Amino acid sequence: MTTNNLTVESLTPTRAPFWSRQFSAAGTEQQATFDIAFGLIIPVLCFYLDPVVFKGDFLSGPILQSYQVFAYGVAALEVTLFMIYMLCGARLGAWSRLIGGALISGSVFSLVTGVIILPYSLMGLIVVIGVLGFIPFITAFVYLRTGWRALTNEAAAIGSLINCLVIGAILSLGVPALASVYVSRSATHSIEAIIHGNPQQAELALAHLRRLPVIPQQNLEPLMQAYLQEKDPERKKLLKNCYQILAGEDIDHRIAIIND
């Protein structure tokens, strides 16, 4: 007679290690919910409410104000590609590898941003708001996981995967960088036209500025300086109105905040 030595442990399926589960080809419903929260909803809210990093007056000024347009461009592309992959997945075919490369580049960008603002995030824990500074690290993980799944969705040679990573980096980082340079130069040129041009030139420059997606605060600083130095009441009123239209706030209020 054969003795049955099977135990409860031997009948229990062996669970894959934690990191293997995180980067497995097929994600779980819980992972999808987590990814949508920290790869889409919360990052968008952070950019909208941002009181410290790219805009706002919580500190003496935004930490990374100079990179505002670039960061917004990267974020917009990453969120769009993330949504496309989450909605379409394997149906994208070979295109998923390009999206994967772009998402992995976005993961690196998010990680670097988190590291740069980490000292401020740690200090901000005193007033709770610093917790938001750790969101980039979680978003970096989400984009890395999603990017890896998209990149390895179909069997491909190593060379092809490397090409997708390079093209993805150019798409997600290079395009926003070029857009940032264009916006900055256009804003600088138009602000100069407002400051030194006649009313007609100022009106044309204002119309051009209003077509730009974002006008970084640093590009508006020469307008504030010109307003402070202007003696002619009519010119001063013109500069004040232009700033109000572009920044959406009263220039005297902004100057008071800076001088406080």
Residues 37 and 147 both lie in one domain: yes
How far is 226 from 186, CA to CA, in rounded Å?
A: 18
User: In this predicted structure, what is the pLDDT of residue 178?
Assistant: 94
In a domain, 196, yes or no: yes
In a domain, 13, yes or no: no
Give the pLDDT of the chain (260 residues) as one tens digit per residue: 444 555 544 555 566 666 666 766 677 888 899 999 999 999 999 888 887 788 766 655 677 878 888 999 999 999 999 999 999 887 888 788 899 999 999 999 999 999 998 988 888 777 667 788 899 999 999 999 999 988 887 766 666 888 889 999 999 999 999 999 999 899 999 999 999 988 899 999 999 999 988 888 788 889 999 999 989 889 999 999 999 999 888 898 888 777 76
Residues of the domain holding 255: 182-259
Residues 172 and 81 both lie in one domain: yes
In a domain, 22, yes or no: no
In a domain, 127, yes or no: yes
Domain termination residue (choose one: 127, 150, 178): 178
Residues 104 and 125 both lie in one domain: yes
In a domain, 91, yes or no: yes
Query: Which residues does 138 contact at the CB level (< 8 Å), separation at least 6?
Result: 38
Residues 150 and 87 both lie in one domain: yes
In a domain, 201, yes or no: yes
Residues 58 and 136 both lie in one domain: yes
Residues 188 and 171 both lie in one domain: no
Please give the tally of structural domains in the chain: 2
Residues 42 and 138 both lie in one domain: yes
Residues 249 and 125 both lie in one domain: no
Residues 159 and 200 both lie in one domain: no
Residues 39 and 110 both lie in one domain: yes
In a domain, 18, yes or no: no
How far is 143 from 109, CA to CA, in rounded Å?
A: 10
User: In this predicted structure, what is the pLDDT of residue 58?
Assistant: 60
Residues 95 and 69 both lie in one domain: yes
Domain termination residue (choose one: 178, 193, 228): 178
Instruction: Report pTM.
Output: 0.78
How far is 57 from 2, CA to CA, in rounded Å?
A: 78
In a domain, 5, yes or no: no
User: In this predicted structure, what is the pLDDT of residue 136?
Assistant: 94
Residues 174 and 186 both lie in one domain: no
